[in-house]
């Protein structure tokens, strides 16, 4: 197995078996034979040990093991990426001095402002702490990241993508909770809106369209059906403008159906649900089964409203 395959399998498995992926991580160290291997391995370590399990020190031990490998060079971009990953876990553990030391050692340079590195660290910390339900701390770090981004990172600045990804992940995490406090609701909406803002910078039309879908879902969870419908309509408009891909169109129709359902417009909800279902045969086979499952759930929701 190559390191790329190892990391890909870890990402594939981690949502349902984070503990199992974590136990496998030491095996990946032997596969790190080139500098380019270090950032993807470190990213998986931080996500699994941090966001999913909250095992900061064990994650740091794994990252520290990279420093004993022949490929390690702290002066390279790859080495600096590992140092920033260490900063993330130290900050999650409350060790601000150690976090600052690692962050300074991992400074990117190359024309990017220092705030770029800081934004990336804070964004990942916010996601990890949200995963561990340390919401007050997560919100504070997230807000600091957004404030620092006032310098205006562009498409080529990694901070823009870090904010987009973290904002999306925060919104999803909070949407999927069975209940939310008012603080969680506010953070969910703040994150969904920030995701839309930063995917506009960092992504293409697909990411922007999906961020409108995410915003629609967050508004629905917040009980804001009219705002959800507006976001769902924007999502659909972007899909149509860019070729009406069946997979993307399916979820745009789903969002519209759910928004109309929340507004009490049963006829419009059924129309959009039928439009989504009609797209299933056109969706590529590797994605169709998932969409079929989502279509069944949507149908059950709409049928429940009719009874």
Half-sphere exposure of 295 (CA within 13 A, CB side): 20
Look at residue 169 in the predicted model and tell me its pLDDT: 87
Report the predicted TM-score, pTM, of the whole model to 2 decimal places. Answer: 0.88
Assigned token pair, 67: 């420093």
Whether 212 contacts 169, CB under 8 Å: no
- The residue behind tokens 């130290």 is 90
- C-alpha 224/C-alpha 69 separation (Å) is 52
Please tell me what DSSP assigns to residue 177. Answer: S
Q: Is 242 exposed, middle or buried (0-12, 13-18, 19+ CB in 10 A)?
A: middle
- Angstrom distance (rounded) from CA 84 to CA 40: 13
The predicted structure's pLDDT at residue 307: 45
For residue 145, give every residue at least 6 positions away whose Cβ sits within 8 Å of its Cβ, in sequence order, or none. 118, 119, 122, 123, 126, 163, 166
| C-alpha Rg value of the chain to the nearest Å | 21
Query: Can you list the domains of the chain with their CATH numbers?
Result: 204-307 (1.25.40.10)
- Classified as helix, coil or strand, 277 is helix
Burial of 243 (0-12, 13-18, 19+ CB in 10 A): exposed
C-alpha to C-alpha distances, 19 to 5, 10, 150, 265, nearest whole angstrom: 19, 11, 38, 44
Residue by residue, pLDDT tens for the chain (307 residues) are 899 999 999 999 998 999 999 999 999 999 999 999 999 999 999 999 999 999 999 999 999 999 999 999 999 999 999 999 999 999 999 999 999 999 999 998 778 888 999 999 999 999 899 889 898 899 999 999 999 999 999 999 999 999 999 999 899 989 998 999 998 899 999 999 999 999 999 999 999 999 999 999 999 999 999 999 999 999 999 999 999 999 999 999 999 999 999 999 999 999 999 999 999 999 999 999 999 999 999 999 998 755 4
pLDDT on residue 130: 86
């Amino acid at each position: 197995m190559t390191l790329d395959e190892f990391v890909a399998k870890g990402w594939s498995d981690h949502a349902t078996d984070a503990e199992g992926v974590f136990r496998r991580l030491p095996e990946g160290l032997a596969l790190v034979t080139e500098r380019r291997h270090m950032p993807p391995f470190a990213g998986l370590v931080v996500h699994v040990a941090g966001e999913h399990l909250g095992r900061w020190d064990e994650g740091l031990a794994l990252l520290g093991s990279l420093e004993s490998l022949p490929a390690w060079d702290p002066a390279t971009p790859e080495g600096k990426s590992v140092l920033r990953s260490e900063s993330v876990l130290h900050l999650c553990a409350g060790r601000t001095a150690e976090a600052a030391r690692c962050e300074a050692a991992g400074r990117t340079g190359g024309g990017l402002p220092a705030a770029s590195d800081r934004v990336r660290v804070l964004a990942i910390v916010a996601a990890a702490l949200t995963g561990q339900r340390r919401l007050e701390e997560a919100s504070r770090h997230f807000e600091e990241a957004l404030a620092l981004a006032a310098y205006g990172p562009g498409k080529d600045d990694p901070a823009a993508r870090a904010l987009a990804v973290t904002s999306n992940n925060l919104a999803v995490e909070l949407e999927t909770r069975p209940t939310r406090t008012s603080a969680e609701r506010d953070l969910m909406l703040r994150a969904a809106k920030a995701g839309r803002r930063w995917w506009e910078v960092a992504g293409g039309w697909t990411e922007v369209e999906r961020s409108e879908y995410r915003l629609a879902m967050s508004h629905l969870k917040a009980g804001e059906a009219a705002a959800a419908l507006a976001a769902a309509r924007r999502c659909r408009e972007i899909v149509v403008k860019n070729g009406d891909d069946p997979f993307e169109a399916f979820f745009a129709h789903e969002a519209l159906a759910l928004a109309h359902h929340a507004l009490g417009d049963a006829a419009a909800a059924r129309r959009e649900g039928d439009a989504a279902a009609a797209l299933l045969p056109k969706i590529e086979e590797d994605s169709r089964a998932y969409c079929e499952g989502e279509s069944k759930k949507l149908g059950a929701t709409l049928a429940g409203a009719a009874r």
